[in-house]
Amino acid sequence: MALPNELRVWALRCLLECDPQAKVAAVAAMATAYVDGACTLDTHAALEAPAGVPGRPARPELVPPRLVGRRSMATLEGRAMLIHALAHIEFNAVNLALDALWRFPGLPEQYYTDWLRVAREEAIHYALLAGHLGTLGHVYGDFTAHASLWEMVEKTCGDPLARMALVPRTLEARGLDAIPPLRAKLAQAGDLAAAGILDIILRDEIGHVDIGNRWYGHLCRQRGVDPVTTYGELLVRYKAPPMRGPFNRDARRQAGFTDGELDAWS
């Protein structure tokens, strides 16, 4: 099958791929091709979503969040469940970055290259976690998972401003707060390899949330709306979970949040 020669079409092809390893490889090939000038970027084409978005494997079984198993650091199985949950988050993050890349036409070129970077880094994160899961005797799909993150992607498919506000700026930003205590628990349990992977993820996720914040601000300025008021309205309109502390303030500042915002949400 011939490879696409346009970035957003290629991103949609990657999004439709169901096999996680094949998706990771396809994202890497896409990123390399774009950097090498082997594919173009059409920022104005209005693409239609075919059936099967997003591509995901038959396993893991997706269940409501309350039915996902508990993860105790005291057992190997519990640590494997945690690593599996993190791998699932990163697999979904690959898909949401690909969706942000292909879905919304008419934005500046930098928007698309930013989300290409996010897709590439999320794919690396997934591969690292899936590889580590293998050292614990499991593969991605062995445990149940939930689809809460993708549900918000679907809700915001008609508006890039809502997408930037409620996915990277809200849901993904939670990882900035959650990763340090998870890293500490894994290190305390003796899993220094997993702790090192979380260091990489936190470093990169600061940049990803910053990208969401920057494009949210850009779209607010473009539409002439107040970012603070608009954010509150979007939370209500899309029934999104509000910001709740405690916050990793250093990471959130690096990701573009202000102290005023963090104080208001605390």
Q: What tens digit of pLDDT does each residue of 28-69 get? A: 999 999 999 999 999 999 999 888 899 999 999 988 877 776
User: Tokens at residue 56, please?
Assistant: 């995901």
Checking if the pLDDT of 73 tops 70, the result is yes
Do residues 26 and 17 lie in contact, with contact meaning Cβ atoms separated by under 8 Å? Answer: yes
Q: Degrees (nearest 5) of the Cα angle 101, 106, 111? A: 40
The reported pLDDT for the residue numbered 64 is 84
User: Tokens at residue 19, please?
Assistant: 């096999």
Residues 241-262 have a mean pLDDT of: 94
User: Which has more pLDDT, 82 or 1?
Assistant: 82
User: Tokens at residue 30, please?
Assistant: 């896409």
Q: Degrees (nearest 5) of the Cα angle 9, 220, 232? A: 110
Q: What tens digit of pLDDT does each residue of 225-251 get? A: 999 999 999 999 999 988 888 999 999
The reported pLDDT for the residue numbered 2 is 66
Residue reference for tokens 């970012």: 227
Contacting residues for 252 by C-beta, under 8 A, at least 6 apart: 173, 176, 177, 209, 262
Spell out the domain ranges in the chain.
69-265
Q: What tens digit of pLDDT does each residue of 140-196 get? A: 999 999 888 899 999 999 999 999 999 999 999 999 999 999 999 999 999 999 999
Q: What is the spatial distance between Cα 105 and Cα 9, in angstroms, rounded to a whole number?
A: 12
The reported pLDDT for the residue numbered 149 is 86
> What is the topology classification, in CATH, of domain 69-265?
Ferritin (1.20.1260)
Residues 96-116 have a mean pLDDT of: 98
- For the chain, where are the alpha helices, taking DSSP H only? 7-16, 20-35, 76-103, 109-135, 148-155, 160-166, 174-188, 192-223, 227-237, 249-254, 259-265
The reported pLDDT for the residue numbered 92 is 95
